Amino acid sequence: MRRTFLTSMALSMGLAAGVAQAQEKSLTLCWAAWDPANALTELSRDFTARTGIAMNFEFVPWTSFADRFLNELNSRGKLCDLMIGDSQWLGLAAENGHYVKLNDFFEKEGIDINDFLPATVYNYSTWPKGSPNYWALPAMGDALAWVYRKDWFARPELREAFRKEYGRELAPPRTWDELMEVAKFFTGREIDGKVRYGVAIYTERGSEGITMGVTSALYPWGFRYQDPEQPYRMEGFVNSPEAVEALEAYKALYECCTPPGHSDAYMVANLDAYKSGQVAMQMNWFAFFPGILKDEQVGEVSGFFVNPRQNEEASVLGGQGISVVSYSDKKDLALQYIKWFAQPEVQQKWWALGGYSAHRAVLEAPDFPESAPFAGDFLEAMSNVRDFWQEPEYAELLQAMQRRIHDYVVADKGTAKEALDKLIQDWTEIFEDAGKL
Amino acid sequence: MAWLFVAPTLFLLLAINIFPLLWNIYLSFTNYKANAPNRPLRWLGLRNYERLLSNEDIWASMQVTARFVFWSILLQVVLGFALAWLLNRRFRGHGFWTTVIVVPMMLSPAVVGVFWTYLFQPQAGIFNYIVNFFYDFGDFTMIGDPDLAMWAIVLVDTWMWTPFVMLICLAGLRAIPEYLYEAAEVDGASSWRQFWTITVPLVLPFLMLAVLFRGIENFKMFDMVVELTSGGPGSATELASIYLKREAFEKWRTGFSAALAVVLFVTVFGVANIYVKLLNRVKER
């Protein structure tokens, strides 16, 4: 009896030790709660199978994503071993030591950063911008683009009506002027017994929504954040006549062609408006497009197009790099994950599962443009991406823009020029505080 | 021995209340940013206070707060008192109705904010349906319209907190001795006169207490409004507390927001103190 007892005790202790060891070999990856996060969960099973390192995930909705994880980094929390953080956080994270610098690791493990699309390396990995200092591996390429109701665009009676009104074929818009015309055409139009609207655009106030939306108009008009000859000199650039025109166009689009109550809308609200058949077009991140294709109601009737040009071609950059959090006690394990994730075959599977690889072996494969209905558009968009300020003062700069733009576009306060003038004042104050002006 | 017993409480008070307050006051004179711990800390003197007092956006958010506090309390006092007066008549089923009426104030403000966004939804929300049933305003949007958004948050706050004012008023009404009304009737006083000379003066201290509680609470209002409007459209409903949160935890201007917190604290503390003195004077009458 005593022997049996001792044996069971030894077995239990052994089991407990095994469990403890297994628990020790685990990583927590922090990211936003959205479709690609599910794909990453699926993909990471291969990593666990190969290494025995269990993966835990901390996914937070986009509207509180920056709040939650910037707090985590600023408080030097140990929750996240790996962070897929926004591109704009790089300056802050690098200068304050939140992320591990990956140069030595890349060199030791033979990871060539040039295997990834240059635009993604520049935006997701480097700080100072463009320098060979890498703080992340490009994880998820993304840009802002558009989805439209292919079936409505193909209806003969609608095509005829559009031709009569605008003297051209009803087709996915190639310029912002055309976008406005198509949006106006659909707004208030009855299709299948229901009143429809033109577009669902970003108008969200709390996090980054309206800034992402408005910059998708500002960039094609030729907006620049600063004088290329004199950094942080914004007068005449941020409030240039082109910028004013673009901002007025965005407000006009909001006022004429969005569904009622679309005044605080970001990704999910746009998806809802589109999937419920309220709107003919929606702006959203490429990341959602695989999900839209699979959707039972709108999957088969959806088409995609890149952000329309105006004076130039430009799309708003989304996407993120994956970094190792310097406060993690498991940095070695986290680096193992990055090493695994950088492999071309893993990147290929990442794309197949619905993630957006930035690896050139995937993107430059001859059959890539045909691999999904939006793959060609993705490549086109990624070749012209522009991003918000990536300074360490990113959060302040963003909040200032959210306020000034929402005040003008949604709350109808002042003029576009006044909004941009005030924005320059805010940004100047922020850069003065940071000792950059 | 006595010190030994009060020491834990004193320690907790110092650690949780007094130290953070003093630390906050200290930070308000510096350029500290919680998200940039490597940045050298500089003593700015009164610079943060000068900046915030000359900041148009802060004054705008203070005005929004003042409007919200004024209108919500006014409506809650009028409706709360009216409901209390009705329930005090002890009609059949008044107990049931009292329970039904107090349900909103038992909900979480964040939950209330979220579900009212659905009620205010222009196309499917029941609020628009009810309003349009009486007069067709079309697809108007309460929380998306800069002119209506303030009224939306006032309405929701009134819906939620009128029962609180009602309960305090009801306690006041039930504390009035019945013989005062009997004596007034014997003297031939009309119901209107009884109301103004007995009911109102005797309920006034209770009502003032309710106004004090609601005033302090609404000055700090945050969660419900964030869920309803995020302070928008633009900054139409950006209360001082929302502005403060954005400065402190989104822009990370810790020193500046500490100064703003001090100003808000002094404002609430000062106004509440004056009000309490007034309340005591009314009670002594």
Cβ(A317)–Cβ(A142) below 8 Å? yes
Yes or no: say if A424 and A235 are a contact pair by the CB < 8 Å rule. yes
Q: Report the top-level CATH class of A27-142+319-386.
A: alpha beta
Task: Count Cβ atoms within 10 A of the Cβ of residue B228 and give its class: 0-12 exposed, 13-18 middle, 19 or more buried.
Answer: buried
CA B209 to chain centroid, in Å, comes to 13
Question: Which pLDDT score, from 0 to 100, does residue A16 have?
Answer: 47
Count of all residues that appear for chain A in the document: 437
Percent of chain B with pLDDT over 70: 100
- Do B146 and A206 lie within an 8 Å CB cutoff? no
ipTM of the complex: 0.82
Judge whether A211 and A388 are in contact, CB under 8 Å: yes
Inter-residue contact A77 to A327 (CB < 8 Å): yes
Task: Please identify which residue in the block is written with the tokens 């009028």.
Answer: B78
Residues A50, A27: Cα–Cα separation, whole Å = 14
* A245 token code pair: 């025109």
Query: From first to last of its 437 residues, what are the pLDDT tens digits of chain A?
Result: 455 544 555 545 444 444 444 456 899 999 999 989 999 999 999 999 999 999 999 999 988 888 889 889 988 999 999 999 988 889 889 988 999 999 999 999 999 999 999 989 999 999 998 899 999 999 999 999 999 999 999 999 999 999 999 999 999 999 999 999 999 999 999 999 999 999 999 999 988 999 999 999 999 999 999 999 999 999 999 999 999 999 999 999 999 999 999 999 999 999 999 999 999 999 999 999 999 999 999 999 999 999 999 999 999 999 999 999 999 999 999 999 999 999 999 999 999 999 999 999 999 999 999 999 999 999 999 999 999 998 888 888 999 999 999 999 999 999 999 999 999 999 999 999 888 98
Position A93: which residue type?
Answer: A
Distance from A406 to chain B by nearest Cα, in Å? 4
Distance CA A427, CA A82 (A): 31
Question: Which position has the higher pLDDT, B38 or B204?
Answer: B204
Q: What is the pLDDT of residue A15?
A: 45
Closest listed residue to residue B229, CA positions, set B140, B116, B130, B123 = B116
How many whole angstroms separate alpha carbon A391 and alpha carbon A349? 33
Cβ distance of A261 and B121 shorter than 8 Å: yes
CB contact under 8 A, A205 and B231: yes
B231 CB within 8 Å of a chain A CB: yes
pLDDT score for A1: 45
**What is the DSSP pairing of strand A82-86 with strand A320-324?**
antiparallel
Q: Which sequence spans correspond to the domains of chain A? A: 27-142+319-386, 144-316+393-433
**pLDDT higher than threshold 90 for residue B40:** no
Residues A189, A277 contacting (CB under 8 angstroms): no
Contact A202, A283 (CB under 8 A): yes
Which chain B residues are closer than 8 Å to A92 by Cβ?
Answer: 35-36
Length of chain B: 285
**DSSP letters of A364-433?**
TSTTGGGSSTTHHHHHHHHTTEE----STTHHHHHHHHHHHHHHHHTT--S-HHHHHHHHHHHHHHHHHH
**Candidates B35, B120, B234; nearest CB to A413:** B234
With tokens 């099973």, the residue in question is: A45
Which CATH number is associated with domain B47-284? 1.10.3720.10
CATH of A144-316+393-433, one of 3.20.20.70, 3.40.190.10, 1.25.40.10, 2.40.400.10: 3.40.190.10
CA distance to partner chain B, nearest, from residue A341 (Å): 30
Burial degree of A374 (CB within 10 A; 0-12, 13-18, 19+): buried
Q: How confident is the model at residue B90 (pLDDT cuts 50, 70, 90)?
A: confident
Structure tokens at A1: 């009896």
Q: Which of B153, B226, B251 to mutate to test the interface with A (most CBs of A within 10 A)?
A: B251
CA atoms of A357 and A345, how far apart (whole Å): 11
Q: Which of B146, B251, B252 sits opposite A411 (nearest CB)?
A: B146
Pick the residue from chain A with its C-alpha nearest to B140: A260
Chain B contact set for A410 (CB, 8 A):
144, 146, 232-234
Within 8 A of A412 by CB-CB distance, chain B residues are: 146, 234
**CA A361, chain centre distance (Å):** 22
Contact by Cβ (8 Å): A204, A193: no
CA distance linking residue A384 with residue B204, whole number of Å: 68
How far off is chain B from A396, nearest CA to CA, in Å?
4
Q: CA of B56: which chain A residue's CA is closest?
A: A422
**What is the predicted pLDDT for the residue at B140?**
85
- Residue A9 is predicted with a pLDDT of 52
DSSP sequence for B175-229: TS-HHHHHHHHHTT--HHHHIIIIIHHHHHHHHHHHHHHHHHHHHS--HHHHHHH
Residue B251: the pLDDT is 85
Segment 138-167 of chain B within 8 Å of chain A by CB: 139-141, 143-146
Q: From the list B34, B123, B230, which residue is nearest A264 (CB)?
A: B230
- Interface residue ranges in chain A relative to chain B, Cβ cutoff 8 Å: 67, 70-71, 74, 92, 95-97, 204-206, 259-264, 392, 395-396, 399-400, 403, 406-408, 410-413, 433
B214 and chain A: CB distance < 8 Å anywhere? no
Q: What angle, rounded to 10 degrees, do the helices at B240-249 and B254-284 form? A: 150
Cis before residue B233, ω within 30 degrees of 0?
Answer: yes
Planar angle of CA A229, A233, A234, nearest 5 degrees: 120
- Cβ within 8 Å, pair A411-B236: yes
* Chain A CB within 8 Å of residue B254 CB: no
| pLDDT for A435 | 87
Quick check: B108 pLDDT over 70? yes
Nearest residue to A205 (alpha-carbon basis) of A420, A1, A414, A409: A409
Give contacts of B120 with chain A, Cβ < 8 Å. 261
A97 to chain B: closest CA residue: B38
Full 3-state SS string of B12-37:
HHHHHHHHHHHHHHHHCCECCCCCCC
Check CB contact under 8 Å for A412 and B143.
no
Contact A261 B234 (CB under 8 A): no
Would an 8 Å CB–CB cutoff place B37 in contact with chain A?
Answer: yes
What ranges do the domains of chain B cover? 47-284
Taking Cα atoms as reference points, which of A350, A329, A364 lies closest to residue A36? Answer: A350
Q: Is B36 on the interface with A (CB under 8 A)?
A: yes
Closest residue of A to B245, CA-based? A67
- Report the distance separating Cα A232 and Cα A240, nearest Å: 15
Instruction: Look at residue B283 and tell me whether its pLDDT is greater than 80.
Output: no
**Cα distance from B139 to chain A (closest Cα, Å)?**
6
Would the CATH topology of A27-142+319-386 be identical to that of A144-316+393-433? yes
- Chain B residues within an 8 Å CB radius of A71: 249
Q: Is the pLDDT of residue B38 over 80?
A: no
